[in-house]
Every structure is written in structure tokens, then in C-alpha cells.
């Protein structure tokens, strides 16, 4: 070699860069599989504290309510259907022997009276955990200009306004008690812009930025704020009906999160965020670090076009049967 020093320098640089990325992957894997999260006892489990869960009667929300009750929290359930609220509350009390309270509220209606009632219902409760789970997505992927304004407004009201309002009701008490956990259920659609579900994607991107800001503002108060970066989970919202490698059941997903409080896993390097489920964590790390953003946008757009095409064909077949 004519320039051995140059060759050695380039080799050393290559080794350094490779080592950096390998070590980051190792950190993600160690956090995801080995490092335990903060104990829920820190937030008052088994000591009379309450967990507040919005959207608590189906899917992930219901599973949060069940698993937090099993961990020893009393549970405050907020959702739209009084009948479903009663069913979930009864299941919790009979299985776990903790207290429950329910409050029926339609989070798509941003009215002062409903939130005044919620505030009154929460008064006097030692709230240790808040799970901002309620959310609204698209029935099928749709271009922005073809999506009704009423649906735009509903997504913004449910996915953003409700989170801000409920958090403002609960947070002062947490700060006063110097302990609390706020979990905001986000989405990969917030981390990676997602054409054809643009309003939903934007609402989850807001939650990501806001959660990171709030987490930083509350440092030193004893209150932990985390944006939960979820990919597909079997649920009505995701329209995934069977579990697979990338779409766990709500039970498996919630269990993975509650084991990793305070541990970013796949969200390594993004303060105030956690990607807890193992396949989501690895996928998140890879896409954030290596996926070309332009190609990713195009891929997501084409994927949603295909989903829309198949959904419309299914509707046509169903209409013919009817």
C-alpha cells in the first residue's frame, strides 16, 4: 500500500463507527431483555393509591386497568359507555379486591361540564398513575382532502385535547405528593410521518413532542412522564385481529410496558419515550437509525393505499351480500 498510514486511519475510523452502532444495539437489547424498570410500588401500588385510565373498557385500556389493579392500585375508569364501565369495574373488584370508581365521559366532546364532573370525581383521590389511553384513528386510510372535517376535529379533540385536560386535572396532586407516573399512549405513526392517516399521525407526533417537553419540565419533582411508542397491538383501533410477531395481544403488550417504566428500550436516545415490546423495540431502533426517511414515507404511503383498496373491496363484497 502506498499510504499505509491512511489505510490504517480509515480502518480505525470504520472500526470506531461500527463499534458505536453495535454498542447502541447492544444497549437496546440489554434494556429490552435484561434491565428491570422502576417498581410500581414507587407510585403507591399496594398503599391505597389510584390509577386513572382513560378509554378503559376495551383493548389496551382495559388491560391497563386489569393489570394495574393486579399490581395493587385502586382504579378509576373513564370511558364513554356506562354499561362497559360497570362490567370492567365489576371484573376488577371481584378478581383483585381493590376499589374502583367510574366516570362516563365522551372525550370527543370538549365541553366544560364534562370535565368539571371529572374533576369533582377525582377530588380527594391519591392518584399515583395516569394512563392517557383514549384515542381515535381512521376507519380506513384516506387522503387528507377526502377525510371529513368532523373526523379531523374528533381526532384532535380525543387524541390531544383530552390528554391535556385530564393531565392538568391530575398532575398538581402528583407534584404535591412528589410521586407520579403519566403514560401517554403514542404510536409509531407519530415517530414516522404516515401518509393517508395524516391527522392521526400528526396527533401522535404532538404527543411525542409534548411528552418529552413535560418530562423535562418535571425533572426533580418525582413525577415520571413517558410517551409509549406503540406499533401494532391486537385491538379495534389497529384492526389487527390475531397476534403475530409485530402485533402482540394487549395483555402481553401492557405487561411488557409495566416491566420497563423508566427504561427507554427501543426509544434509546429520545428522552421521555419508551418502546417496550421487544419486536417493536428492535424495529424502532433500526428504522430510526438506518431507514431512509424518503423511502419510508413512500413505503408507508403505498402500504396504506393497498390497505384502503382491500378495505373498499371488502365493503363492496359485504354490500352485495346484504
- Is residue 307 domain-resident? no
- Is residue 195 domain-resident? yes
pLDDT at 31: 85
Domain containing 240 equals 36-291
Q: Which residues pair with 184 in a beta bridge?
A: 132, 227
164 sits in which H/E element: helix 162-177
pLDDT at 319: 86
- Is residue 77 domain-resident? yes
9 annotated among ligand-binding-site residues: no
> Active-site residue among 147, 200, 253, 277?
200
Confidence of residue 25 (pLDDT cuts 50, 70, 90): confident
Cβ atoms 272, 95 nearer than 8 A: no
Over residues 100-113, the mean pLDDT reads 96
**All 3 cell numbers of residue 226?**
413517558
Over residues 190-201, the mean pLDDT reads 96
- Is residue 297 domain-resident? no
pLDDT at 276: 93
87: domain CATH number is 3.40.50.720
Annotated catalytic residue 299? no
Based on the structure, what is the number of domains in the chain?
A: 1
Q: Which of 257, 155, 170 lies closest to 206 in space, CA to CA? A: 155
pLDDT tens profile 244-258: 988 999 999 999 999
Q: Which of 2-11, 160-169, 225-234, 288-297 is predicted least confidently?
A: 2-11
| pLDDT exceeds cutoff 80 at 9 | no
pLDDT at 307: 93
Cell 428491570 locates to 36
- State the pTM of this model: 0.91
The size of the chain, in residues, is 322
Residue 165 DSSP SS3: helix
- Is residue 311 domain-resident? no
Cβ atoms 60, 297 nearer than 8 A: no
Q: In the chain, pLDDT over 90 holds for what percent of residues?
A: 75
Amino acid at each position: 500500500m502506498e499510504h499505509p498510514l491512511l489505510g490504517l486511519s480509515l480502518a480505525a475510523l470504520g472500526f470506531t463507527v461500527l463499534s458505536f452502532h453495535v454498542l447502541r444495539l447492544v444497549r437496546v437489547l440489554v434494556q429490552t431483555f435484561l434491565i428491570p424498570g422502576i417498581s410500581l410500588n414507587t407510585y403507591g401500588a399496594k398503599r391505597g393509591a389510584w390509577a386513572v385510565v382513560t378509554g378503559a373498557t376495551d383493548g389496551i385500556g382495559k388491560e391497563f386497568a386489569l393489570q394495574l389493579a393486579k399490581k395493587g392500585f385502586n382504579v378509576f375508569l373513564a370511558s364513554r359507555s356506562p354499561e362497559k364501565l360497570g362490567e370492567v369495574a365489576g371484573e376488577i373488584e371481584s378478581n383483585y379486591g381493590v376499589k374502583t370508581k367510574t366516570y362516563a365521559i365522551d372525550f370527543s366532546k370538549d365541553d366544560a361540564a364534562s370535565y368539571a364532573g371529572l374533576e369533582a370525581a377525582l377530588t380527594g383521590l391519591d392518584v399515583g398513575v395516569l394512563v392517557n389511553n383514549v384515542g381515535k384513528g381512521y376507519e380506513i386510510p384516506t387522503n387528507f382532502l377526502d377525510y371529513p372535517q368532523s373526523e379531523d376535529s374528533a381526532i384532535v379533540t380525543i387524541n390531544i385535547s383530552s390528554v391535556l385536560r385530564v393531565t392538568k386535572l391530575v398532575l398538581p396532586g402528583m407534584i404535591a405528593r412528589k410521586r407520579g407516573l403519566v403514560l401517554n399512549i403514542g404510536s409509531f405513526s407519530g415517530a414516522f410521518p404516515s401518509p393517508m392517516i395524516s391527522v392521526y399521525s400528526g396527533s401522535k407526533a404532538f404527543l411525542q413532542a409534548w411528552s418529552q417537553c413535560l418530562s423535562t419540565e418535571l425533572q426533580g419533582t418525582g413525577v415520571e412522564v413517558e410517551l409509549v411508542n406503540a406499533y401494532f397491538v391486537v385491538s379495534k383501533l389497529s384492526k389487527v385481529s390475531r397476534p403475530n410477531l409485530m402485533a402482540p395481544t394487549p395483555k402481553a403488550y401492557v405487561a411488557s410496558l409495566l416491566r420497563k417504566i423508566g427504561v427507554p428500550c427501543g426509544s434509546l436516545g429520545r428522552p421521555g419515550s419508551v418502546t417496550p415490546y421487544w419486536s417493536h423495540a428492535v424495529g424502532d431502533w433500526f428504522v430510526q437509525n438506518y431507514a431512509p426517511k424518503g423511502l419510508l414515507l413512500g413505503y408507508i404511503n403505498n402500504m396504506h393505499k393497498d390497505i384502503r383498496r382491500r378495505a373498499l373491496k371488502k365493503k363492496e363484497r359485504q354490500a352485495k351480500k346484504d
